[in-house]
């Protein structure tokens, strides 16, 4: 204990305390039922993958792969997650405010054949 007291300053302990408060807030968000379900399902993925047959894929290979319904579903999930990642850039957004798939800002997913006028 004495070694810690000699190594760190009061300011260091204040910073640690502030960081701990933020960390607990993050942990609280991660323990919501929706977040735990998402993280649990995501944690199952590596055990289900066999990457031994993975090959480099170009543009046409990717387009060809889109014929597979699982690939299309995965691309849909990837695109939704990508939209969610945009929230990382806009740190000024109010808490709980989401720009993801907001019909008022033009980011709403459109049905095939739907014109831009909505």
- Which pLDDT belongs to residue 21? 95
Same-domain status, 44 and 61: no
In a domain, 83, yes or no: yes
- Which pLDDT belongs to residue 76? 96
The answer to whether 109 touches 101, Cβ cutoff 8 Å, is yes
Same-domain status, 82 and 65: yes
The residue ranking higher by pLDDT, 101 or 16, is 16
Q: Which two tokens mark 8?
A: 């760190």
Same-domain status, 63 and 101: yes
For the stretch 64-108, pLDDT in tens is 999 999 999 999 999 999 999 998 887 655 555 555 544 444 444
For residue 33, give its domain range.
1-54
- Which pLDDT belongs to residue 109? 46
Same-domain status, 60 and 50: no
Same-domain status, 19 and 66: no
Average pLDDT, the chain: 82
- What is the pTM assigned to this prediction? 0.55
Same-domain status, 12 and 39: yes
């Amino acid at each position: 204990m004495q070694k810690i007291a000699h190594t760190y300053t009061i300011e260091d302990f204040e910073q640690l305390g502030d960081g701990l408060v933020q960390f607990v807030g993050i942990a609280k968000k991660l323990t919501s039922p929706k977040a735990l379900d998402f993280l649990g399902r995501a944690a199952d993925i590596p055990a289900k993958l066999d990457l031994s047959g993975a090959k480099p894929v170009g543009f046409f290979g990717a387009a060809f792969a889109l014929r597979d319904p699982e690939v299309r579903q995965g691309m849909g999930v990837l695109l939704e997650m990508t939209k969610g990642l945009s929230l990382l850039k806009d740190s000024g957004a109010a808490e709980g405010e989401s720009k993801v798939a907001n019909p008022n800002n033009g980011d709403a997913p459109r049905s095939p054949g739907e014109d831009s006028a909505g």
